[in-house]
């Protein structure tokens, strides 16, 4: 563990000396602890910036190969959009998913290094630990969004640059990454070993991706796949991104509903993650 990380971990003990006064004090303490965890996790990215580019390779291939080919074939109905335009928000969501779904392996690594035990020994609320890690996954995902936007510009995707839309895109990315990283954390707490986690992560990633509207519209799916798509949070993430990213983009479900679906899913997973997070140390 680096000195920087040690200093930040020591900051989690502030709750022992700073008194909390009622609900407001508890909320302030909860936010402070969440931000400490977020900063701790985000600093790891600064120490290994190459991760940004290595994780962008797969989404880039999807856009440059799959997207360009199917734009010429015109085999998938995408309304008034070129296929590459339709696909770009889905590939951004895919990039967020791929970053977040393997985030749980860091939890197992931290357990092996003894970091988890120090987290659990601090007075930090377990939900703040889980939420802080979720937000840090969102920060990593934003870096991927910059790369996907650059590729989209090179491929002539008609992107919206409305400031409110950009803020909405960042919010969707952070919430989506937080949601799937928390799901990943829950899986890590259950399986407890890196080998099992990697196998399960690979099994989960592609079904989540293909059972969504990321690369084709839900209207052309068989009925059983439509059902899965409607309970898949990735569907609502893609729907919101498609409405916010593209010029003339619209939401099938409505942007408020997309946000409500993502936020409610995140809250449920954070509550579950907070309850089972201590079991990873057993």
The string of pLDDT tens digits covering residues 219-259 is 999 999 999 999 999 999 999 999 999 998 899 999 999 99
CA dihedral angle for residue 222, residue 223, residue 227, residue 229, rounded to 10 degrees: 20
The answer to whether residue 247 is domain-embedded is yes
- Residues near 115 by Cβ (< 8 Å), separated by ≥ 6? 1, 5, 9
In the chain, the number of structural domains is: 1
Query: What is the pLDDT at residue 19?
Result: 46
The answer to whether residue 44 is domain-embedded is no
Query: What is the pLDDT at residue 158?
Result: 92
Show the low-confidence residues of the chain (pLDDT under 50): 1, 3-4, 7-8, 10-11, 13-20
Q: How many residues comprise the chain?
A: 282
d(CA 2, CA 237): 35
d(CA 191, CA 230): 27
Query: What is the pLDDT at residue 78?
Result: 83
Query: What is the pLDDT at residue 52?
Result: 63
The answer to whether residue 16 is domain-embedded is no
CB atoms within 10 A of CB 46: 8
Going from the C-alpha of 51 to that of each of 45, 48, 88, 173, 266, the distances in angstroms are 7, 6, 21, 18, 25
As given in the structure block, the two tokens for residue 59 are: 């989404």
As given in the structure block, the two tokens for residue 93 are: 């969501």
Angle between helices 22-47 and 3-10 (to 10 degrees): 170
Query: What is the pLDDT at residue 92?
Result: 92
Range of the domain at 141: 49-281
The answer to whether residue 33 is domain-embedded is no
Query: What is the pLDDT at residue 240?
Result: 96
CA dihedral angle for residue 256, residue 258, residue 264, residue 265, rounded to 10 degrees: -170
The answer to whether residue 31 is domain-embedded is no
Helices in the chain by DSSP H: which ranges? Answer: 3-10, 22-47, 50-61, 68-73, 83-101, 104-113, 115-121, 126-154, 163-191, 194-210, 223-230, 233-245, 255-276
The answer to whether residue 71 is domain-embedded is yes
Q: Which residues pair with 159 in a beta bridge?
A: 246
The answer to whether residue 212 is domain-embedded is yes
d(CA 41, CA 32): 14
The answer to whether residue 189 is domain-embedded is yes
Query: What is the pLDDT at residue 223?
Result: 93
As given in the structure block, the two tokens for residue 241 are: 């991104």
């Amino acid at each position: 563990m680096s000195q920087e990380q040690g200093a930040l971990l020591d900051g989690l003990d502030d709750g022992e000396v700073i008194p909390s006064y009622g609900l407001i004090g508890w909320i302030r303490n909860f936010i402070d602890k969440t931000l400490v965890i977020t900063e701790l996790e985000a600093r790891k990215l600064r120490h290994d910036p190459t991760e940004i580019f290595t994780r962008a390779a797969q989404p880039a291939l999807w856009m440059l190969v799959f997207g360009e080919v199917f734009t010429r074939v015109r085999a998938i109905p995408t309304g008034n959009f070129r296929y590459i335009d339709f696909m770009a928000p889905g590939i951004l969501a895919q990039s967020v998913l791929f970053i977040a779904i393997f985030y749980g392996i860091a939890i197992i690594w931290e357990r092996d290094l003894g970091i988890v035990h120090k987290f659990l020994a601090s007075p930090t609320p377990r939900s703040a630990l889980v939420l802080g890690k979720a937000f840090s996954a969102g920060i990593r995902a934003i870096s991927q969004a910059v790369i996907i936007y650059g590729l989209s510009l090179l491929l002539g995707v008609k992107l919206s640059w409305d400031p409110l839309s950009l803020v909405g895109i960042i919010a969707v990315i952070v919430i989506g990454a937080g949601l799937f990283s928390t799901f990943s954390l829950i899986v890590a707490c259950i399986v407890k070993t890196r080998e099992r986690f990697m196998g399960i992560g690979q099994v989960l990633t592609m079904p989540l991706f293909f059972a969504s509207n990321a690369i084709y519209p839900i209207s052309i799916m068989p009925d059983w796949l439509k059902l899965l798509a409607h309970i898949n949070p990735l569907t609502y993430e893609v729907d919101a991104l498609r409405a916010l990213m593209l010029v003339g983009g619209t939401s099938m479900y409505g942007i408020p509903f997309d946000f409500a679906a993502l936020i409610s899913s995140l809250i449920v997973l954070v509550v579950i993650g907070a309850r089972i997070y201590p079991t990873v140390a057993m």
